[in-house]
């Protein structure tokens, strides 16, 4: 398999803190997960080598109307006012229960070439929200820099809200409620990290 691409081949390593397949914590740039054997190229075997461009709102299944997409865009903008370093990607899919959303998210984040004007660092600050219109399942995939800052359990309340709205058929609220709850979690994590920094400076 030729590896000449527009993105860094390093991305084929598992550039995350948790394995997307079995969720155990792993070292950055590990070539495979020692617990379940997951590799970055395994995701390419599953989903191919030509993902759609990872746009800010990627809705290839027409889950949202153009008007709803505008509302999502302004909810993202509101989040960005408080935390401008986070680059959101909101993506609707119809994958069904047999496909693992975290593995699909890993594939999108790692195999999608960078967009025009998007840097490698931007991608590492990217948080991808996936919603599955078929199952109502939701997941979050974070770039490396965002991930070390905000651990998985911070997403639990926001994802629970999103999934429950999805299952009630409210696909717009799934996203807007998610962003609202995620913002609150970020605030808490931010305060925690600031307090930690202060403590480190004092010792
Ligand atoms: Zn694993």
Q: What is the pLDDT of residue 50?
A: 86
**d(CA 74, ligand 1 centre) in Å:** 36
Asked whether residue 125 is domain-assigned, the answer is yes
| 168 CA distance to ligand 1 middle (Å) | 32
CA of 35 to the centre of ligand 1 (A): 5
Query: Could you count the other beta carbons within 10 Å of the beta carbon of residue 81?
Result: 8
Q: Looking at residue 27, what DSSP letter applies?
A: -
**Domain with 108 in it:** 39-202
Residue 54: give its domain's CATH number: 3.10.310.50
CA angle 176, 188, 121 (to 5 degrees): 75
**CB of 76 within 8 A of CB of 90?**
yes
Count of structural domains, the chain: 1
CA 39 to ligand 1 centroid distance, Å:
8
81: CA distance to ligand 1 center in Å? 35
Going from the Cα of 26 to the center of ligand 1, the distance in angstroms, rounded, reads 8
Q: How much distance in Å is there from the Cα of 98 to the middle of ligand 1?
A: 17
For residue range 76-130, list pLDDT tens digits in order. Answer: 999 999 889 899 999 999 999 999 999 999 999 888 889 999 998 899 899 999 9
- For the record, the structure tokens of 97 come out as 């229960």
Q: For residue 4, tell me if it sits in a domain.
A: no
Instruction: Answer for the pair 20, 14: CB distance below 8 angstroms, yes or no.
Output: yes
Compute, in angstroms, the gap from residue 198 CA to the centroid of ligand 1: 35
Please give the distance, rounded to the nearest whole angstrom, from the Cα atom of residue 48 to the centre of ligand 1: 20
Give the global pTM. 0.86
End-to-end CA distance of the chain: 51
Encode pLDDT of 116-172 as tens digits: 999 988 998 999 999 999 999 999 998 878 877 777 778 889 999 999 999 999 999
Residue 176 belongs to a domain: yes
> CA-CA distance, 153 to 105, in Å (whole number)?
17
- What pLDDT was estimated at residue 180? 94
C-alpha distances out from residue 55 to 90, 123, 137, Å:
8, 12, 21
């Amino acid at each position: 398999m030729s590896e000449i691409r527009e993105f860094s081949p390093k991305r084929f390593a598992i550039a995350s803190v948790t394995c997307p397949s079995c969720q155990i914590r792993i070292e950055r740039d590990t070539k495979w997960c020692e617990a379940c054997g997951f590799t970055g190229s395994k995701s390419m075997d599953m989903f191919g080598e030509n993902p759609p461009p990872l746009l800010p709102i990627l809705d290839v299944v027409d889950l949202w109307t153009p008007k709803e997409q505008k509302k999502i865009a302004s909810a993202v903008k509101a989040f960005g006012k408080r935390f401008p370093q986070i680059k959101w990607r909101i993506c609707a899919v119809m994958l069904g229960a047999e496909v693992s959303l975290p593995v699909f998210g890993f594939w999108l984040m790692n195999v999608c070439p960078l967009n025009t004007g998007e840097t490698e660092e931007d991608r590492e600050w990217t948080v991808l929200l996936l919603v599955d219109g078929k199952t109502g399942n939701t997941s979050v995939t974070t770039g490396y820099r965002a991930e070390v800052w905000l651990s998985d359990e911070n997403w639990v309340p926001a994802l629970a809200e999103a999934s429950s709205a999805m299952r009630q058929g409210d696909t717009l609220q799934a996203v807007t409620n998610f962003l609202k709850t995620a913002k609150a979690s970020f605030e808490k994590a931010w305060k925690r990290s600031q307090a930690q920094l202060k403590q480190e400076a004092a010792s």
